[in-house]
């Protein structure tokens, strides 16, 4: 279901940035040209821009708002975004702000995105995050993001885990939640993310398993903490 332009949306703390980083890294390591766009102009903490050095060391192009890396939440987005949307080869991954306000920045590029006819919007859900812990809450927020961005979601990513504190039961108990979100939204499940250290234990037990490294850390956590 991946397209040339892949737009990752979700609520604060849903893990959309961690998923975006993993997706970009895996595509690059498979030999693809990859550009990642940090369009989170709202949240000063969990931004792909914070991992620019690591991404660029892999050969991934990083485009970020002018205020990234600061606490200034201004909608200053580089014109490089337009050039990335127009590129004809490789993949573009767009990490969108965590609510309808953040998605408004994406709406600015609606016509550019739709003109390519080669894009997909993914909605990241996480049962263990406030405000989207029930399927109805998750779908309600998704609809708000769709209105703000002027784009419709195309698939669901079940990212219901607790980073390095995750147990196999945490993942297994999220399956019904994800299925209900898919049912209410009438969208297919793209992936069920699983921390890399649990992937062998859960192989064959969860639908569309997608192992991920826990790259994004809480900025106030001690080294080694989640």
Asked if residue 225 is part of any domain, the answer here is no
Asked if residue 219 is part of any domain, the answer here is no
Whether the Cβ atoms of residue 137 and residue 127 lie closer than 8 Å to each other: no
What per-residue confidence (pLDDT) applies to 173? 97
Asked if residue 221 is part of any domain, the answer here is no
Asked if residue 205 is part of any domain, the answer here is yes
Give the residue numbers spanning the domain of 184: 5-212
What per-residue confidence (pLDDT) applies to 222? 44
Q: How many domains does the chain have?
A: 1
Asked if residue 156 is part of any domain, the answer here is yes
Residue 61 sits in a domain of what CATH number?
3.40.50.300
The pLDDT tens digits along the chain (226 residues) read 899 999 999 998 899 999 999 999 999 999 999 999 988 765 555 577 789 999 999 999 999 865 444 444 444 456 888 889 998 899 999 999 776 777 888 888 999 999 998 999 999 999 999 999 999 999 999 999 999 999 999 999 999 999 889 999 999 999 999 999 999 999 999 999 999 999 999 999 999 999 999 998 755 444 333 3
What per-residue confidence (pLDDT) applies to 103? 85
Asked if residue 223 is part of any domain, the answer here is no
What per-residue confidence (pLDDT) applies to 46? 56
What is this structure's pTM?
A: 0.90
Strand partners, 121: 7
Asked if residue 226 is part of any domain, the answer here is no
Task: Give the list of residues 6+ apart from residue 214 with CB closer than 8 angstroms, or none.
Answer: 18, 163, 164, 195, 196, 226
């Amino acid at each position: 279901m991946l397209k040339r332009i892949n737009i990752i949306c979700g609520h604060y703390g849903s893990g959309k940035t961690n998923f975006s980083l993993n997706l970009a890294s895996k595509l690059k390591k498979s030999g693809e040209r990859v550009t990642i766009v940090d369009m989170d102009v709202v949240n000063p903490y969990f931004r792909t821009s914070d991992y620019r050095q690591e991404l660029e060391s892999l050969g991934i192009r990083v485009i970020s708002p002018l205020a990234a890396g600061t606490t200034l939440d201004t909608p200053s987005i580089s014109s490089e975004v337009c050039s990335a949307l127009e590129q004809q080869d490789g993949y573009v991954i767009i990490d969108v702000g965590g609510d309808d306000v953040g998605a408004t920045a994406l709406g600015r590029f609606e016509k550019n995105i739709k003109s390519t006819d080669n894009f997909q919007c993914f909605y990241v859900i996480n049962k263990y995050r406030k405000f989207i812990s029930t399927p109805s809450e998750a779908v309600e927020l998704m609809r708000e993001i769709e209105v703000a961005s002027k784009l419709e979601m195309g698939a669901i990513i079940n990212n219901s885990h607790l980073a390095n504190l995750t147990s196999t039961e945490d993942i297994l108990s999220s399956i019904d939640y994800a299925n209900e979100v898919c049912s209410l939204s009438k969208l297919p499940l793209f992936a069920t993310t699983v921390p890399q250290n649990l992937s062998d234990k859960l192989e064959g037990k969860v639908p569309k398993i997608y192992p991920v490294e826990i790259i994004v850390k809480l900025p106030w956590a001690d080294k080694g903490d989640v």
